[in-house]
Chains A and B, each alone.
Chain A
Amino acid sequence: MSLEKHYFFDNPRNIQRLLKVFYVACGLLVALDFVVHRHTEHYLERLWGFYPLYGFVGCVVLVIVAKWMRGFLMRGEDYYDRVELADRDEASGGGQGSV
């Protein structure tokens, strides 16, 4: 391990620093809502914090629904191959990485 070069994200403190910068940026963007006069085209846009909230909630819902979908959509990696490649020796699929 000691022989290998240390990379930026190997240090957890770098990740923490990056995240802090990110949180501050998020806070600033919300704060700008108070300062900047916005030209809105839609009534929802006039609501304070509409875009940040929509982005956050939208993505959380997206991930939770997708996780729930895994429950009934997920199958083993060879689900199709078992049948479709049954008469071939390479039932594990794959192929040449580059040709």
Chain B
Amino acid sequence: MFEIPPFVPFFLAALLALSLRGWPRALVMIAVPLLSLANLWFTPVGSYGQLVLMDFQLEFFRADKLSLLFGYLFHIAALISVIYSLHVRDTLQQSVSLLYAGSALGAIFAGDLLTLFIFWELLAITSVFLIWARRSGRSYVAGLRYFTIHIFSGLLLLAGIVFYSRSHGSLEFTYIGLEGVYGWLIFLAFGIKCAFPFFHNWLTDAYPESTPTGTVFLSAFTTKVAVYALARSYPGTELLVYIGATMACFPIFFAVIENDLRRVLAYSLINQLGFMVVGIGIGTALAINGAVAHAFNDVIFKGLLFMSMGAVLHVTGKINGSELGGLYKTMPKTTVLCIVGAASISAFPLFSGFVSKSLVMSAAIAEGYDWVWLLLLFSAAGVFHHAGIKIPYFAFFAHDSGIRAQEPPTNMLVAMTIAAVLCLAVGIYPQALYQLLPHEVSYSPYDVTHVLTQLQLLFFSALAFVWLNLRRLYPPELPSVNLDVDWLYRRLLPGAVRHAVAGAFRVDARLRGGAVKAVERLLDSVSAQQRAGGILAQNWLTGSMVAGVALLLGVFLLLGLVG
């Protein structure tokens, strides 16, 4: 067992990946998460890798139950994503994805806020290259927006850390709570990364624009680091319950009408984050366990769904529901794997979502959050509707698009199979996951009531889908864009700025024009006096001259008398 922070081997491997090609690179990329996971497994709870810097104690490797669980999860996610992307011949992507996974590990094992901040920013810097790796105009502008928002989140975090260190004299990354300015600044920084309502569009905007393999990496790390940070610093903050319930509900409406299937999954990712945020907000041992367990399962089943849609995009070059359909005919393996992911996210009994979502739901009832429980139940039915049915249905079934694409490369199928097996394994034997959770809670998801009620909920949600489809009430997939909060900064703000600048130019032009015209008029009136008929061109009478001189002398005389 080596007491080195887990991000170190990932960063070293990323450097190696830059110079290696072909199978040596593949070997390094698979070996690193595997060996590092084995090392982490045997690392006991404790604090390693400390460094004193200007009176502050930095801690690069704090291993406790919470961070270790996320550590295992990120290793598994990295391994699956690496295998999924083995066929990619893009050195930049391969190297950056390891840096990104390493940054996520750095953030969760950070024992102090300054280390957290460094990895927080590294997460943004490394992940944006996965978006730009698509090398399209859309991915470029979406990446810029993504990057701006994440750097802003980092700056808020830094400001919060400055205030925090002033009032606490320490930088320990522990419970913070909504006290003082620092509490709110850090909360907002975490919230932006966690895709809180109104700050969620970086996710739905950028993730679907990444490469088929890049999105799989992206979906695993950034938001889960934020969930971890919230669980560490804001457990039991009641505001989170309401934020979480909102996050669980509103994205499902957008998911129903969205055409880009990876964007549907991005909305559904926010919806799943909602369950975790509610759990953290409730803050009891059961609720925190539920939030963390759900984060674990979500990374794997959401990864599986993103992988299956990535496979579709890879082999067909299309991802819009309106252009797909009937792919089950030639891609049966991908279809089955996608359905496993869909069943897991919908929390079917024997699939992983079932054993973690119910922890949060039970905690909500136990703490008397009745309305929140009803909202979560509604969104649980809604998840099945948009992610559980819509994704497989419009991609693989529905009307036959005529596309006869072959199965994706073997490495993609292997990665999806690993994820699918994990979904089933956790679903069938949840105790394996439960014993890794931060709190000790005896909970059994498999009692008759729970299984029956969940099946009733899901089957009748499916019945609603069938009924709406047969009655032709279901909204068809249409090539379209749906406005969301990002409209404010993609359309309204640029439009307003353009309008304001154009207005300023107009005012400027009018002022200049007015001034030029005034000068012209002055010149005209002066020159008019020089011309025939002007005052200066008139013949003056001698008498009037004498009268003028007399007047002038009179004035002098008057002044002389007065003076």
Contact = CB atoms under 8 A, between A and B. Distances in A.
B546 interface: no
B461 A55 contact: yes
Interface in B248-278: 252-254, 256-257
Contacts of A25: 459
Contacts of A39: 447, 449
Contacts of B494: 83
Interface string B447-471: 1110011111111111111111000
Interface string B465-484: 11110000111001111111
A95 interface: yes
Nearest to B483: A73
B381 A55 contact: yes
A70 B482 contact: yes
B48 interface: no
A54 B380 CA distance: 11
B136 A90 contact: yes
B162 to A, nearest CB: 35
B6 interface: no
Interface stretch (B12-20, B179-187, B370-378, B415-423): B370-378
The majority secondary structure among interface residues of chain B is helix
Contacts of A9: 328, 397
Contacts of B453: 38, 45, 51
B458 A55 contact: yes
Interface in A65-99: 65-67, 69-70, 72-81, 83-85, 88, 90-91, 93-99
A92 to B, nearest CB: 9
Interface in B318-345: 318, 328-329
A41 B450 CA distance: 11
B475 A70 contact: yes
Of A51, A65, A69, A98, most B-chain CB atoms within 10 Å: A98
Nearest to A49: B456
A32 interface: yes
A78 B480 CA distance: 8
A72 B256 CA distance: 15
B490 A98 contact: no
Interface in A7-63: 7, 9, 19, 22-23, 25-26, 29-30, 32-33, 36, 38-42, 44-45, 51-60, 62-63
A95 B491 contact: no
Contact of A85 (B138, B448, B457, B461): B138
The majority secondary structure among interface residues of chain A is helix
A78 B459 CA distance: 37
Contacts of B462: 22
A97 B137 contact: no
Of A5, A7, A63, A70, most B-chain CB atoms within 10 Å: A63
Contacts of B439: none
Nearest to B205: A80
B338 to A, nearest CB: 16
B317 A97 contact: yes
Given A51-B453, A80-B490, A97-B212, A36 B448 contact: yes
A44 B377 CA distance: 12
Contact of B370 (A38, A42, A58): A42
A67 B385 contact: no
Nearest to B473: A63
B135 interface: yes
A75 B481 CA distance: 5
B141 interface: yes
B547 to A, nearest CB: 74
Nearest to B249: A62
B381 A95 contact: no
A51 B384 CA distance: 14
B206 interface: no
A39 B453 CA distance: 11
Contacts of B137: 81, 84-85, 88, 90-91, 93, 95
A7 B209 CA distance: 33
Contacts of A55: 381, 456-461, 463-464
Given A29-B455, A83-B494, 19 more contacts: A29-B456, A36-B449, A41-B366, A55-B381, A55-B460, A56-B461, A59-B464, A62-B256, A62-B378, A63-B474, A65-B253, A66-B475, A73-B483, A76-B480, A80-B490, A95-B136, A98-B88, A99-B93, A99-B134
Among all A-B residue pairs, the 3 with the closest Cβ atoms? A95-B136, A59-B464, A97-B317
29 contacts: A7-B329, A22-B466, A26-B459, A29-B459, A38-B453, A39-B449, A55-B461, A55-B464, A56-B464, A58-B378, A58-B461, A59-B381, A59-B468, A62-B378, A66-B256, A67-B475, A70-B480, A73-B483, A74-B480, A74-B482, A74-B483, A75-B481, A88-B137, A90-B136, A93-B137, A96-B136, A96-B211, A99-B88, A99-B211
